[in-house]
Structure 1
């Protein structure tokens, strides 16, 4: 039923595995390595067609200096922070409460409401492009950070509710019954009994949603334009001019934009892994 561990395979199989693993790893990292090398190339390498050769010079400080001090990249980064952080907080708050309601209370229509949350995850987001854009225009939320925040919260709450509801249903129900016997109110049960037990799940969900929202490009282009509201993923395209693209600056900006999610993961790694594996071993 389960694959045989590599330690129990034949010696020839193990050697083939050990030889192919570094090759596959390099192939997987090749695009990232290319972007990192592009970010330190001079502009002349691209005009001369030297894309994959040895850089004629290493312009690390020059390229990254232009990204930080001669462009709107700091503003785009702040926009991403102002969009991502409220979205994560709002999504987790809403999904925690809806997950608590759907996971603890038994009422008519519980499964129907739960399936409605799940159904939203199966709708291709490209289909929603035109109606969502028209809705933001009619509500005067187009090209605003508030519009992006509200849309992301609405779109991510379905997945987060599924995650939270299933996690809460796995908690020991006698704890809640004991609190009710003691006369504790329902909102106090949620805040002081259930919520502390949900910390691993909250941490795992926060890392996932932070990564999803920070790396979003599609809705950033559809719902915003210009440095007033665009996040960093869409702002990187500002390095393109009418007739040519500044690949070295775009690559440097991409590296800068990728650092916050990586940092977020390493800071929350312990809680993230605990949240994903909680309940896997009895």
Structure 2
């Protein structure tokens, strides 16, 4: 009976996996097909061609090279700055007796519970008042502002569980607050930082809502809004659209694979704590 249940579970899980992977496989196959092949035989037919023309068109004529650079310019500093500020705030809130720290944490967490749709107009107007509208700086500031509360809340839980004896021993040895933070707390929080970093990179890189809120010029658009423009530029040219989607997914997949070990350990540590 146990073997039957195990076999049934694997069959069910395998079927779900196939259903989940099927659209991804279709996109990959379509990206390497030629337009003439798709037009003549249909999108769901077996491929009769293999070409990189779709990738070349998406990368050059579709402007995805410029969009990918814009995304990296926004994502890398946003993730680094947000994690650094979040770690500093979590360190202060978790290791020192700050008045109303629970209230501060609840306010930071509550800000992330607000529907972003109700903040689109205020954020757009504020960026215009500050003179940074339609610049990548505006998008960086917005991403940092809306991610800081959540990252601080998560890191607070990790840092609070670090034994205070470690910090006290470092202080006795002559370490100041900055040395304790950078040499002791941050290395111990590396699994949490890696897990949050991988998630933050994915969220910021794939963001669409805030990008179209504070940006309007095509030359400064990151890759996700650029994909919308690509679909309008290459209507029904499915190989180019699929190739652009594949290219846009490569950085996030690479980051996840790079930090997969730390990501899993970070989730496991969080579950234990």
TM over 0.5: yes
Residue 119 of structure 2 aligns with which residue? 128
Deviations 1:184-209 (A, max 9, x none): 32222212221221222211111110
Counterpart Cα distance in 2 of 1:151 and 1:15: 49
Paired residues in the alignment total 273
Task: Indicate the larger mover: 183-192 or 36-45.
Answer: 36-45
Aligned to 2:141: 150
The 1:23/1:169 distance shift into structure 2, 3 A limit, reads same
Where 1:278 maps in the other structure, the secondary structure is: helix
Aligned-pair Cα RMSD in Å: 2.1
Give 1:47 deviation, angstroms: 5.0
1:59: how far off?
A: 4.3
Q: Once the two structures are superposed, what CA deviation does each residue of 1:69-124 show, in whole Å capped at 9, x if it has no partner?
A: 33311111101100000000110110010000110111321111111111011111
Contact 1:72 1:227 in 2 (8 A): no
The superposition leaves residues 128-174 of structure 1 with CA deviations (integer Å, 9 ceiling, x where unpaired) of 11111111122222221111101000101111001111110010111
Give, in whole Å, the separation in 2 of the partners of 1:239 and 1:182.
59
- The TM-score normalised by the length of structure 2 is 0.92
Matched, 1:50 2:42: yes
Question: What are the equivalent positions in structure 2 for 1:7-156 lying under 5 Å apart?
Answer: 10-44=2-36, 50-55=42-47, 57-156=48-147
Change over 3 Å in CA distance of 1:247–1:135 after alignment to 2: farther
Q: CA deviation at 1:243?
A: 9.1
Aligned partners of 1:40 and 1:59 also within 8 Å: yes
**Residue in structure 2 matched with residue 168 of structure 1 by the alignment:** 159
Q: Distance in 2 between matches of 1:38 and 1:226?
A: 30
Residue ranges of structure 2 left out of the alignment (5+ in a row): none
1:253 aligns to 2:244 (yes or no)? yes
Task: Name stretches of at least 5 consecutive residues in structure 1 with no aligned partner.
Answer: 1-8
Q: Which moved more, 1:159-168 or 1:236-245?
A: 236-245
Q: Is contact 1:84-1:210 (8 Å) kept?
A: yes
Q: Secondary structure at the match of 2:118?
A: coil
**Could you tell me how far apart the structure 1 residues matched to 2:232 and 2:115 are?**
32
**8 Å contact 1:237–1:250 — kept in the other structure?**
no
> What SS does the corresponding residue of 2:117 show, helix, strand or coil?
coil
Aligned 8 A contact 1:217 1:234 in 2: yes
Change (3 A) 1:69 1:228: closer
With over 3 angstroms needed to count, the CA separation of the structure-2 counterparts of 1:243 and 1:90, relative to structure 1, is closer
Deviation of 1:219 after TM superposition, in Å, equals 1.6
Please say if residues 239 and 246 of structure 1, whose CA atoms lie closer than 8 Å, have aligned partners that are also in contact.
no
TM-score, length of structure 1 as denominator length: 0.89
1:240 alignment partner, SS class: helix
